[in-house]
Amino acid sequence: MPRARMLTLAVEDVLTNFFFTAYPTIMDELWEAGDLSLTPEELLQRDEARQARQKQHFKNSYIKNGQRMRDKESISWGERNKDKLKVYTDRYRNKNLLEKKFYCTTCDTAFPDSSKLKRHNTTVRHLSLGGARVHGQVLP
């Protein structure tokens, strides 16, 4: 790598670090300038005040986020389109049943999703037909 390029990268790195540390952050308002002549009791009082301001800051931000989430624009796609979501899920469940994607060979039964198959593997019917448990796991 040429020296000029290395020098340019080094200067860029120094300036990036300098400006990044100088950039104000959200938490800066929670800190106040330190005084080196404070007693331990005063330091504890300042720390308690800082923690109280920090809790209030986070509480305010959670309240704002909670209000934002309750807005109608923020409601998830699934909540707004329950009828479309039902069509999509029914389509994939039927497809899984036809393809026997989640299938128990012991009981010769297909299931629409993996959770139904896992639940079936723990039933008395499945275990009585020959499904076995090994180290707490049910085998088909």
Q: Return the domain boundaries, the chain.
A: 77-139
Give me the pLDDT at residue 1, please: 67
Q: Residue 72: pLDDT band by 50, 70, 90 thresholds?
A: low
pLDDT greater than 60 at residue 110:
yes
Across 70-88, average pLDDT = 73
- What are the tens digits of pLDDT across the range 34-62? 566 778 888 888 889 888 988 888 877 77
* Nearest-angstrom CA–CA distance, 8 and 29: 34
* Nearest-angstrom CA–CA distance, 140 and 122: 10
pLDDT greater than 50 at residue 119:
yes
Q: What is the pTM of this model?
A: 0.38
| Cα distances (angstroms) measured from residue 7 to each of 2, 4, 16, 52, 84 | 9, 5, 14, 46, 58
* Nearest-angstrom CA–CA distance, 14 and 21: 11
